[in-house]
Amino acid sequence: MKNNILLVAISILSLVACKKDVSGVTGNTGTVSIVPASAVPAAVVAAFNSSFSTATETEWQHNSDDSFTCQFNMDDQRHEAHFDDKGHQSSHSVICLDGAVPATVLNAFRAAYPTDNVYEWKFTTDQTWKAHFMRDNIKWEVTFNANGTVVKAEHD
């Protein structure tokens, strides 16, 4: 029994120790829909373009609370910004410091996981990209090669 309690305690501590602070970063508990930029209110797009004029590879998400999230590449990093439906920015985070995620990898992720939202990207020394996301309170890690092929998919 002591071993089971110890195992549970270690598991909880390891999850807390590895947890990335994603407050405001795709952490809402409602539903999220991937939408084209044309479905985003003009005020939101204008605010985004004003703040992030050099952004590329944008992907818009419409959240169940009528807010919007945009993930994008800029300055050789992957970013995420949140806006309310009036265009007021509520947060901005870098979700990949290792580099801008290539379009091939982003497209492959979206094709394989159309309803999931990455909270962190990692570029590894073996030249693969790891996408970290939550699905039904389970942490997933999917590895893609440079061609966008899924090399490995793991979850807790």
d(CA 71, CA 61): 8
pLDDT value of position 28: 43
Q: Which residues pair with 62 in a beta bridge?
A: 33, 68
d(CA 70, CA 45): 10
CB 141 within 8 A of CB 155: yes
φ, ψ (nearest 5 deg) of residue 111:
-70, -40
pLDDT value of position 1: 52
Q: Is 110 helix (H, G, I), strand (E, B) or coil?
A: helix
pLDDT value of position 29: 52
Residues present in the chain in total: 156
Domain boundaries, the chain: 31-100, 101-156
pLDDT value of position 98: 85
Structure tokens at 6: 């110890």
Structure tokens at 104: 């091939």
CB 117 within 8 A of CB 133: yes
Can you give the pLDDT of all 156 residues of the chain as single tens digits? 555 444 444 443 333 322 223 333 344 456 778 999 999 999 999 999 999 999 999 999 999 899 999 999 999 999 999 999 999 999 999 999 888 999 999 999 999 999 899 999 999 989 999 999 999 999 999 999 999 999 999 998
Q: Any idea which architecture 101-156 has in CATH?
A: Roll (3.10)
